[in-house]
Amino acid sequence: LELSPLPATVILMNSGVHLAIEGARTLDDLRALADRGVDVLACGTCLGYFDLTDRLAAGRITNMYDIAQVLLDAGKVVHV
């Protein structure tokens, strides 16, 4: 939230989807980013693997095709 400019997109994959579910400490920050126009994407396959699909509370569910397209179109990618 303190970055300027804000990222265009935040992608949550693998265990990162746990950051956007009910009860996550990061939920308020992800919601605030979304409210400020950041596209928060959560991998639907990953949510399904962890049985978290119904608990997603920030962002939207997407698929690997869309995630790959966002990454390919990005001018800069930061990963952790």
45 and 11 in contact (C-beta within 8 Å)?
no
Cis peptide before 5 (omega within 30 of 0): yes
Q: How does pLDDT run across 45-64, given as a tens digit for each residue?
A: 999 999 999 999 999 999 99
Q: Identify the helix (H) or strand (E) that includes residue 29.
A: helix 27-35
Instruction: Provide mean pLDDT across the span 54-77.
Output: 93
Total Cβ atoms within 10 A of residue 49:
13
Entry pTM: 0.89
**Range in 44-48, 65-69, 76-80 the model is least confident about:** 76-80
Q: What is the pLDDT of residue 3?
A: 78
Q: Any idea which residue has 């919601």 for tokens?
A: 31
| pLDDT tens digits along 25-36 | 999 999 999 999
Burial of 5: CB neighbours in 10 Å, binned 0-12, 13-18, 19+: exposed
